[in-house]
Structure 1
Amino acid sequence: MTGHRLVLVGGGHAHVQVIRALAQQPEPGMTITLVTDRLLTPYSGMLPGHVAGIYSHAEMHIDLGRLAEVCGVTLVGSAAAAIDRARRTVTTEDGASVPYDTLSLNVGITPDLSGIAGAEEHGIPVKPISSFIARLDALLEAAARADGPRRIVLVGGGAAGVELALALKARLTGLDPKGRPFWIGLAASNGLVATLNDGVRRRARAALARHGVTLLDDFRVVEINAQGLRAQDKRFVTADAVLVSTAARAPSWLATTGLPTDRHGFVQTTRCLTCIDDSAVFAVGDCATVAEDPTPKAGVFAVRQGAALTANLRRRARGEVLAPHRPDRNYLTILMTGDGSAIAGRGGWFAVEGRWVWRWKDWIDRRFMRRFSEFRR
C-alpha cells in the first residue's frame, strides 16, 4: 500500500484509540491527519468524579496536541465545516481543505433542548462536556458566595443524571459558609435509570435518599425559566440553576454534508461502521447510529468501537473486506455515589454496591487515561 490518507475528524473516545494503535503498529504508507478545534478531549467516564472534586481538569482530559505529536499525526486545529465526498476533501472553519482517501467522524453530540421551552436561555446542558465544565465552574464559584445559588435541579433520570446529582451534592456539602443548605433535585420523567436492572434501580434510589437528593418522579420538564422549571402536569419547582442531561442531537453541520442521517441528525452507518452509502466514510461514537442495530448514546459503546474501527481502517487501507462490529449490550455500568462508594450493574441480574466498587471504577478509568498520557512511540 502506498499513499493512503486517513483523516480523523474529532478527537473522541474511539479516535484517540485509533491514533494510539496506529502509532504502535503503523500501516505502511498511511498518513494520518486529525481535524479538531479542541486540543483537550474529556473522558466522559470521569465527569462525575470531576464534578465531585475527585479528578482535576487535567486528569479527565486527553491532550490531543501532545498525543498527535507523539504519534506522528498531523494536527489541523480547526473544526470541520463541510465534506465534499465527490472530491474527497474536508473543509475546516478557517478555510483549509484537507484531502482524504478514508474519512472517519467522531464528533460527539450537542444538546437537543427543543422540547423544553426556555431551556436554551435558562438551562445548563451537560453536553458538550467542554462547555458544561466552564459553566459548572461559574456555578460553583457563585455557589460559594453567601448570596449564591442554593436550589439546583438536574433534569434526566438516566445514569448520567443520577451520578451528576450525587456528585454535585458531594461537592457542595462543605461549601456553604453561612449555613444556608443546598437543595439538589433530580427530575426523572421515565423512571430512574430505567434501562438498568431492578437491583441497580433500588440502590440508586436509596443513594439519592441517603444523600438528601430529592427525586422528582414522573416529572416531564416542559419549561425552564428564571424562577425554576415546570412539568407537563403543571407542577412547578423553584430553582436557581437547572442542569439538563437528557436528549441530544448530532452537530448541525453534519446535515449539510449529504451524508445519510436519521431524524435526529445522526449519521447512519453499517455494522462495519461505514456510512451506509459511502464505504470511504466511517462514523462512530455518539454522532452516529448503526442503522440495523442502534445503541444508546453511552460512552461505553464509543470506547468499545475503538478497536473495531482501527481494524476496519487497516482493512480498507489494505483493500480487504471489512468486518462487522457487534456491540455487547450486556455491558457493565458503574454509578459513583459521591461518597467513596459506587453501584455496579450488568444485564438483568447483577447489582452490587460498595467502596470496593468505586475503587474498581477509579482503577478502570485511570488505566484508560494512562494509555494516552504516558504513551511513548
Structure 2
Amino acid sequence: MVKSSPKPADMSDALLAWYDVHARDLPWRIPPASLRGGQRPDPYRIWLSEVMLQQTTVAAVKDYFTRFTARWPRIEDLAAAEDGEVMGEWAGLGYYARARNLLKCARVVTADHGGQFPDDHAALLKLPGIGPYTAAAISAIAFDAQQTVLDGNVERVMARLYDIHKPLPAAKPELMARAAALTPPQRCGDYAQAVMDLGATICTPKSPACGICPWRDPCAARKAGSAAQLPKKTPKKPKPVRLGVAYIGRRADGAYLLERRPDTGLLGGMLGWPGAPWGEIFAQAPPAQADWRALPEEARHTFTHFHLRLAVQVADLPMDAAPEQGEFVAAHDFRPSDLPTVMRKAFDLAQGAFADRLSLGRLSDRNG
C-alpha cells in the first residue's frame, strides 16, 4: 500500500507542536501561544528586530536590539531621537540605509498613525523601509495574519522539503508558493517563527539534523539523499576591488577630524574619516595642510558588492588648523563605537601609530 502524502494542515500542526517545545528564546519574542498567557507581541519590537535581521545574523543583532530598546523603549522615543545618535548606535551593524529608513519609518508611524503600526498588510508596505518580507513578518508575528514569510531559512526548508533543484534566485516564486500552501490560518505568528527556527536550528546549511526534524518523513530531499546540496544557487560574479584613503588627523587636545557622510549612498549618514571617493586608484585628497604619514597596513573590508582596500594616513594637526573637509570632534564627544566597521578598522591602525609616535616623543625628551 502506497503511503499518501500528509496534508498541509497535518504538517503545520506537526511543526507547531515542535515549536511549542523547541522555540528559540530571543529578546524580541514572546513564548508560543500555549505558554504566553495574556501576553501579546509588540509590533514595535517585531519591526525593529526584523529590520535589524535583514542580511544579519541573530547573534550579531541581539546586543544591538537590547541597547536600542533600552535607550528607545517605544517607537515615539525612537522617532524623537537625534539622527546622529541613532546612526552611532547602529554603527557596526552594517547596511546603513536600514538605520536611515528606521528613523523615517518611526517618524511616519508616530506622526501619521498615532505611534501604532497599522495591522493592514497593504498599509505596512507603504511605510519607509518595509518591503514584502518585512511586511509579511510583521503581519504574521505581530498581528497573527495569514501571511507567508520567506527568508533564507524558509527558502532552504522548502527547497529540501520538495527537493527543488532550480537555483536561487530563479526558484523564489516556486518556493514562495510551496511555503504559502503550508501557512495555516491559525497561529500564523507562531508558524512563521517555527518555520524560520526549523531552518536555523535543524535544517541548517551544513549537516542538517534530519533525524530529529518534525518534517523528516515527508521531506523529499531526505529521501533522495540530496538535502545537503540544496538549495542550489546561481554562481555569483567575482566582486571588484575599490581603493581609497582615510585621513586620520588629531589635534594636541585629542580632537579628531571627522566628517559625516551624505545621507544617500554607502555608509550614508555615518561618521567617517575624510578622503576622496573610492575608485580604481588611491586618490589623494588631504583634508588639511599637515605632515601626513602613510601607515604600512591597510584597512580592508568587504561590502555587498565590492572589496575595499583603504590606505590610512595620519597626522598631528595644529590647534589652529582650518580643514577644507570635515570638522573637529572633541575628545570627550568622540566614541570609536560610533564609526562604521571599516572606519573603525582604520582608526585601530591609527591608534597604534599615534601611540608609537607619543612613545618616541617621550623617549626623545628623556634623552634630551
Would the TM-score normalized by the shorter structure come out above 0.5? no
- TM-score range (shorter-chain normalised) is under 0.3
Higher strand share: 1
Q: TM-score, normalised on structure 1? A: 0.23
Higher-Rg structure is 2
Higher helix share: 2
Q: TM-score, normalised on structure 2? A: 0.24
Bigger relative contact order, structure 1 or 2 (CA pairs below 8 A, ≥6 apart)? 1
